[in-house]
Structure 1
């Protein structure tokens, strides 16, 4: 299992960051690779809520379900289906107040690649750096969206609200 953590200081109060991140069906507002996202369960928040994310490339997608939920502080999403080369994957998002108008957003990603030992090696050499970069851009998008209310488009382009 590969694991890494990234973090970013978001320039918004924790309540605002939580409000945005906890709306799991609207991740397209700040995720620079997700063109469209939709909640796929009646449950919109909390353990068991699920979403589908369609990527800008027109081919890729991910289906995810919330496996843990700590109201106001964080949640874990597990990838259940999709076009990514994972045998299993989950990401834990946590949010900690870090002064006035500041929130420390942290993502811990855990994943196992398809392809046995070769997949594991490729995961460490190639996928981890790519995922760190991608999740860093997600946290950058979360920061900009929380501060401005503007949607983050493909490759991080800031769009009109």
Structure 2
């Protein structure tokens, strides 16, 4: 049992990820202005009903929010900030990672695609419990549904960033074809 715990608690275990990409028809500066508004996730993420900033700072490293789906919420804290191009958030509830993961992070990355276009890369990086079994579960059971969810988020971002209006399920469905999944290292 002690050996199992040591293996299970290894901090250097590699993260698995699901990754999608799309092009948004706004300049990088406009896309960044929308992205750095840490209070706007519910405008483009499916099933979110509200976003509440719960830290003293509203953006940048350490900013912390709750995203609500009805009365339930998930906490998100910025753990890496790349001014003008993106950030990484830790997904958690209190001090514990978002279930069922041992670690879960969401990566937003922007880059200039052209003078009036921005490439958006979204990734959900995660570490499953149970060592090799968890890694297999992540690759074979978790990654595909996560990619489908990321496609919906990216399509919602495209609509919101281009129009400034709340993305609906119909908007996400209409724009889902503009989002592609990208190979990720497992």
Q: TM-score, normalised by structure 1?
A: 0.86
Match of 1:85 in 2: 100
Larger Rg: 2
Query: What is the alpha-carbon distance in structure 2 between the residues aligned to residue 86 and residue 60 of structure 1?
Result: 18
The alignment partner of 1:150 has SS state of coil
Runs of 4+ more than 6 Å apart: none
RMSD, aligned CA: 2.2
Given the superposition, is the C-alpha separation of residues 74 and 83 from structure 1 closer, same or farther in structure 2, using an over 3 Å criterion?
closer
Q: TM-score, normalised by structure 2?
A: 0.75
Q: Which runs of 5+ in 1 are unaligned?
A: none
Q: Determine if contact 2:98/2:104 at 8 Å carries over to the other structure.
A: no
Match of 2:32 in 1: 18
Match of 2:74 in 1: 62
What is the aligned residue count? 156
Write the mapping of 1:71-150 to structure 2, written as runs, cut at 5 A: 71-81=83-93, 84-150=99-165
Q: Which runs of 5+ in 2 are unaligned?
A: 1-14, 174-186
Q: Which has the higher strand share?
A: 1
Q: Determine if contact 1:48/1:65 at 8 Å carries over to the other structure.
A: yes
Q: Deviations over 1:13-66 (max 9, x none)?
A: 1111111111112110111231111111110010000111112xx465321100
Query: What is the alpha-carbon distance in structure 2 between the residues aligned to residue 128 and residue 89 of structure 1?
Result: 13
- The alpha-carbon deviation at position 155 of structure 1 amounts to 7.1
